[in-house]
Structure 1
Amino acid sequence: MVLLTAARLRRARFASLGLSQPTAPTAEAVVGRLGAVQGQDLPGVLWSLASRTRSCTVADVRAEFTAGRLVRGWPMRGTLHVVRPVDLAAFTNLTSPRVIRSMAATDRRLGLTPAVIEGACESVLGGLAERGSLDRQALRGLIAESGVSTTPAQRVSHVVYHLAARGLICLGPFAGTTQLFVDARRWCGSAPSDSDREQEADLSRLLLAYISGHGPVSAADAARWFGLPITLIRSALASLDDRLMTVETPSGPQWMAASALSEEILIASEKPVPVRLLAGFDEYMLGYVDRGFAVPAGRLDEIVPGGNGMFRATITVSGTVAGIWTKQNSGRVIGLEPFRELSAAAMHGIVREARRYAAAWELPADPRISLRG
């Protein structure tokens, strides 16, 4: 069994996530490799995807959504993720029963009866059938017209969540920089699995994608990522036994895909990794239960202030979070808030990364670096 030190574990995950060598030809290839990419912050996920490709711009990534090669939906944990259209129904079918049950108390608190929710869903789907796509304002307008009170505003948002959790809507094409809602069943062209056997096969397939794109991972990591009971994850792991390999880490045995790519990743884990400017909700921060592998002790609250769930964008040096960065003046300035003084080599790496950021967003000039702290 391969033994990974803490440093090698960081570098292996960095490589699995496509951060060491951004060689993917398209954003679709990135998502296919990782299984799903967390995406509640749209500018952030556009950068996360573009930065993992050889040369795609953010405009190129938007074009992939508009062409129907990617969607942004709520496939798990009640959180927006970018997935391939062919996978959205499979994810949703696995996770929606638990998500919908968890919404019942809020339904009652907001006075949303099953009949009211069904009426709103029918109104939205009718509007999508007529118009093809809707922006957020139009979607919320249809929900209000169906009889859902807009006071408090959370009522309408909760109905949107119902539509998403049931796999009825997703975000697909762009109109300029605005992403539009579409009928997920029509846009994605796939139906949810009907039988337990099909669902088991879907979970095994999606779990293998997660392990391939995030490994080394534990069963607890996978259960948290999918939002599913660990018993289901362990059963799926058993079904994948001959397609997985085990490595020893400081946290115990973890899994990687048994593939040539994993062998390359293990070799890469012995080498330095580049400095990166990661988006706030990057999978490097969100793909694992314990972020201590990458976040120095006592620094997590600076990344997620007050534990509010809003992850700030991070600077990584050697795979370790070395501070926070912010986009200022429409990306023309990159503000740095390092945890401690950055070395000259780290600053050179940040300058190179800022140039990649400027190229992805097609900015007229390289950003100016502003250092604080």
Structure 2
Amino acid sequence: MRSGWGVLLKPAARRGLLCFGPQRGRNVTFCAPRHWLDGHGGPPGGTTSPRARGPEEAGPLDPARALGRMLERYLRAYGPAAPDDFARWWGTGTPEVRAALRELGEAVEATSVEGHRAWALREDVEEMARPAADDAPVVRLLPGFDPYVVGVSRQLASLLPDPALRPKVSRTAGWISPVLVVDGLIGGVWTARPARRTEVEVETFVPLRPGLRRRVAEEAEALLASGDHEVVVRFA
């Protein structure tokens, strides 16, 4: 008990005795899969996943099939991604991931992202290929550890105006900063300090014209405003 909790949790999880349970505020919970999955692929009384396991699959899956299921869920969150991205994340070999891709068949589609060959779920590729409704730039303030940034950690430099800025996004000890994204590219990082009013400070990596600054302020207001609580945005 004097060691880290992982000494107890990891072996139990590997044996199929333990999984993450429902979130309780800021705290995580753990439970037995048979209780969380309820024999039907989802939490008791809750919603199921897009590809929930039916009652006939309530028992252990064949390892190759199970890896395909995990790859499918990974691509839903982090796709497009290359086989070695998933292999690094899951801790397995690339040949096993390629076999899992073949198992998914027509559910996945090969894409090219900035010259990198990657795979995504076919339904997501159709959504990504859909033209924008207008020519206005897409401005987003993404939280720390957002899947958009985590999923491209190995190709992060391709989203930055200068590769030397990488340590501001992917920081010491694996911390991923909240980022400002403009048309898919990382244009800065930001922090929010709530008090009597929420102060948002945006450190920009590229010059932002007044119109874009207004869009950033609107995004911050939409994310963080509540009631009469004021949101103030400052640019560094």
Q: TM-score range by the shorter chain?
A: 0.7 to 0.9
Partner of residue 182, structure 2:
317
CA distance in structure 2 between the aligned counterparts of 1:252 and 1:183, rounded to whole angstroms: 39
Q: Does 1:355 align with 2:221?
A: yes
How far apart are 1:347 and its partner, in Å?
A: 0.9
Partner of residue 201, structure 2:
335
Q: 1:290 aligns with which of 152, 155, 158?
A: 155
**Closer, same or farther: CA 364–228 of 1 in aligned 2, 3 Å:** farther
CA distance in structure 2 between the aligned counterparts of 1:226 and 1:192, rounded to whole angstroms: 22
Partner of residue 241, structure 1:
105
Match runs of 1:38-57 below 5 Å: none
**Closer, same or farther: CA 159–247 of 1 in aligned 2, 3 Å:** closer
**Closer, same or farther: CA 311–264 of 1 in aligned 2, 3 Å:** closer
CA contact (8 A) 2:77 2:147 kept: no
Q: Does 1:264 align with 2:113?
A: no
Length-normalised TM-score, structure 1: 0.50
CA contact (8 A) 1:281 1:311 kept: yes
CA distance in structure 2 between the aligned counterparts of 1:363 and 1:160, rounded to whole angstroms: 44
**Residue 128 of structure 2 aligns to a residue in which SS?**
helix
Match runs of 1:120-199 below 5 Å: 148-149=1-2, 155-159=3-7, 161-162=9-10, 165-166=13-14, 167-168=17-18, 170-174=20-24, 177-179=25-27, 181-185=29-33, 186-190=35-39, 194=60, 198-199=62-63
Question: Alpha-carbon deviations, 1:176-218, whole Å to 9, x = none?
Answer: x4535342332343598535xx232222233233334433322
Question: Alpha-carbon deviations, 1:38-76, whole Å to 9, x = none?
Answer: xxxxxxxxxxxxxxxxxxxxxxxxxxxxxxxxxxxxxxx
Partner of residue 219, structure 1:
83
CA distance in structure 2 between the aligned counterparts of 1:338 and 1:354, rounded to whole angstroms: 15
Question: Alpha-carbon deviations, 1:19-39, whole Å to 9, x = none?
Answer: xxxxxxxxxxxxxxxxxxxxx
CA distance in structure 2 between the aligned counterparts of 1:355 and 1:347, rounded to whole angstroms: 12
Alignment gaps of 5+ in structure 1? 1-147, 150-154
CA contact (8 A) 2:9 2:18 kept: no
CA distance in structure 2 between the aligned counterparts of 1:340 and 1:282, rounded to whole angstroms: 21
Structure (1/2) with the larger helix percentage: 1
RCO greater where, 1 or 2, for CA within 8 Å and sep 6 or more? 1
Question: Alpha-carbon deviations, 1:108-143, whole Å to 9, x = none?
Answer: xxxxxxxxxxxxxxxxxxxxxxxxxxxxxxxxxxxx
Partner of residue 49, structure 2:
none
**Closer, same or farther: CA 248–171 of 1 in aligned 2, 3 Å:** closer
**Residue 71 of structure 2 aligns to a residue in which SS?**
helix
Length-normalised TM-score, structure 2: 0.75
CA contact (8 A) 2:79 2:151 kept: no
**Closer, same or farther: CA 252–269 of 1 in aligned 2, 3 Å:** farther
Match runs of 1:8-27 below 5 Å: none
Partner of residue 117, structure 1:
none
Partner of residue 43, structure 2:
none
For 1:157, the aligned partner's letter is W
How far apart are 1:283 and its partner, in Å?
A: 0.7
Q: CA RMSD in A?
A: 2.9
Alignment gaps of 5+ in structure 2? 40-56
CA contact (8 A) 1:216 1:255 kept: yes
**Residue 268 of structure 1 aligns to a residue in which SS?**
coil
